[in-house]
Amino acid sequence: MTSLLEDVNRMLANEYGDIPRLKEIKETLEQNKMLFVSERKYLVKLTRDHPEAPAVRVSSYDKPTTKYSTDEDLDIDELEEKIKVESEPS
């Protein structure tokens, strides 16, 4: 699991998405300000569309599956905890 700031830095480094919008998101996160829900959804979707590493193929009884480690894999309680932790000042 990565932080939102790590995600936005990776998107900027790889030049995925709307660069000016990502820079504003990064600035907001670095200032420990609350991120708009729409901006968070944008970042989560972007990181889901561009996973950190290629999909890992896992074979289970010769039935391949693809696994990603993204916020989508989290249940709502884990996601709320991640938001809470990331929004707390350091």
Q: Name the band, by pLDDT with cuts 50, 70 and 90, for residue 3.
A: confident
Looking up tokens 């907001």 gives: 28
Can you give 55-72 as a three-state secondary structure string? CEEEEECCEEEEECCCHH
Per the CB < 8 A criterion, the answer to whether 6 and 25 are in contact is no
Report the alpha-carbon distance of residue 7 to residue 44 in Å, rounded.
8
Q: From residue 49, how far is each of 18, 28, 40, 52, 54 by CA, in Å?
A: 14, 22, 14, 10, 11
- pLDDT tens for 13-55 read 999 999 999 999 999 999 999 989 999 999 989 988 888 744 4
Tell me the pTM: 0.57
Average pLDDT over residues 47-74: 55
Provide the residue range defining the domain that includes 77. 4-87
- Structural domain total, the chain: 1
Name the residue type at position 8.
V
